[in-house]
Amino acid sequence: MDIRSLSAASGYTAARPATKADPNHDAVGAGARLKESFESFAANLQHSEQVSVQAMTSQADPHALVQALAQTELAVETAVTVRNKVVEAYQEILRMPV
C-alpha cells in the first residue's frame, strides 16, 4: 500500500469531526429566515407585476407603479449583492490551500 494514501486516509479521519454539525448552532432558525426572505422576495415581485398590469389597463395610480418598481429594483439589487457575496465566499474557499 502506498504511504501517501495512508496519510491521506488518516488525515480525512482526523478532519471528520470538523464536518459534524454543531448542536449549539441555530441552523433551523437560519433556514427558516432564509425561506422567509425568498418568499418575501417572490411576493414583492408578484405584487409589482400585478401593479404593472393594473397600470397598463389604467386601473392603478402611476405613483403606485413607480413605488412598486422601486421596491422591486431594491429587492433585485439586494438579491444580486447576496449572490455576489456567496460566489465570492465560494471562490475564497476554493483558493484555500488543502
Q: Check residue 2 and give its pLDDT.
A: 53
CA distance 12 to 69: 51
- End-to-end Cα separation, the chain, in angstroms: 23
pLDDT (tens place) for every residue of the chain, 98 residues total = 456 656 666 766 666 665 565 666 555 677 888 889 889 999 999 999 999 999 888 887 888 889 999 999 999 999 999 999 999 999 999 999 87
pLDDT at residue 17, as a whole number: 64
pTM metric for this prediction: 0.60
**Closest by alpha carbon to 50, among 79, 36, 42, 35?**
42
- Give domain limits for the chain: 25-95
Q: How much is the pLDDT for 89? A: 95
